[in-house]
Structure 1
Amino acid sequence: MENVSKNWIPTVAYIVLLLSIVAMYSQNVAAMSAQQQLQADISYLNHKLKAVKTDDMKLAEQANKIETLQKSLDEANNIIETLNTEKQTLLKGAENLTGSTEITPPATEATPPAVTPAQ
């Protein structure tokens, strides 16, 4: 009986060692699975990030176009303002010359009377 009681210690130690190995293997499998999931998540997020960057680039292009159009509009408004100022100056000059701000078209030459054939 004494031999039996001494033999169970290595057996229990061996079983504990096997259980530890199985537990570590299970943890390793779980860690690999989690790592694969993380890699899939990272790939998905990188894809989304590229899409967002593309959208940002498109928005930046649109903003540049809007800025260019705004500059063109500002230039056109400046030209209109300049033309209105010049128009007012011309109207004042015309009023000084004619006493009226009415702009009348120049007189056209009178058309000669139609010639009727002699009878």
Structure 2
Amino acid sequence: MNDQILIQSIISIFTVFASGFFSFLLTLYKIRSENKTKSNEFEIKNRELEQRLTELEKSQRHEIDKLTAEYELLKSSKSDDMQNEMLGKFFSGELDFSRLAKSIDGLSQLNNKVKNLK
């Protein structure tokens, strides 16, 4: 009789343990599956964001290159305009290099006086 009670107790304990262990394994599997799914979702989202960032960088780089080219063209145009204007003034007599040379000499003398005052 004692043996039967012991066997029934062991069977009851084993049944409870087996169902608990089975439940634990199912829960563990479910959690791992959910984590893997979330990890895959984050990975996909990360790739999408990296792709978007790359597209924005290319777009902005294109805009910067375009603005730089426009600036260089405008700068070159202004420089050419200034040179043409100076040549026009020189040939029309408005620009006198002798007066310009005297002005430069006067400026260098003034600069020397300022240096001496320091």
Q: Common fold, TM-score beyond 0.5? A: yes
For residue 18 of structure 1, report the CA deviation from its aligned partner. Answer: 2.7
Greater fraction helix: 2
Which amino acid is 2:69 matched to?
T
- Give the structure 1 partner of residue 61 of structure 2: 60
Alpha-carbon distance in 1 for matches of 2:94, 2:48? 69
- Give the structure 2 partner of residue 88 of structure 1: 89
- Give the structure 1 partner of residue 113 of structure 2: none
For residue 51 of structure 1, report the CA deviation from its aligned partner. Answer: 1.7
Alpha-carbon distance in 2 for matches of 1:10, 1:19? 14
The aligned runs of 1:1-119 (5 Å cut-off) are 1-7=1-7, 8-92=9-93
Q: What 5-or-longer segments of structure 1 have no aligned partner?
A: 96-119
Identity of aligned residues (%): 4
Aligned residues: 95
Which amino acid is 2:6 matched to?
K
Q: For structure 1, which segment, 78-87 or 12-21, has the greater mean C-alpha deviation from structure 2 after superposition? A: 12-21
Alpha-carbon distance in 1 for matches of 2:10, 2:65? 80
Alpha-carbon distance in 2 for matches of 1:70, 1:23? 69
Residue-by-residue CA offset, 1:57-82 (whole Å, 9 max, x unaligned): 11111111111111111111110110
TM-score under structure 1 length normalisation: 0.68
Q: What 5-or-longer segments of structure 2 have no aligned partner?
A: 97-118
Alpha-carbon distance in 2 for matches of 1:39, 1:51? 18
For residue 9 of structure 1, report the CA deviation from its aligned partner. Answer: 2.6
For residue 46 of structure 1, report the CA deviation from its aligned partner. Answer: 1.2
Structure number with larger C-alpha Rg? 1
For residue 93 of structure 1, report the CA deviation from its aligned partner. Answer: 6.9
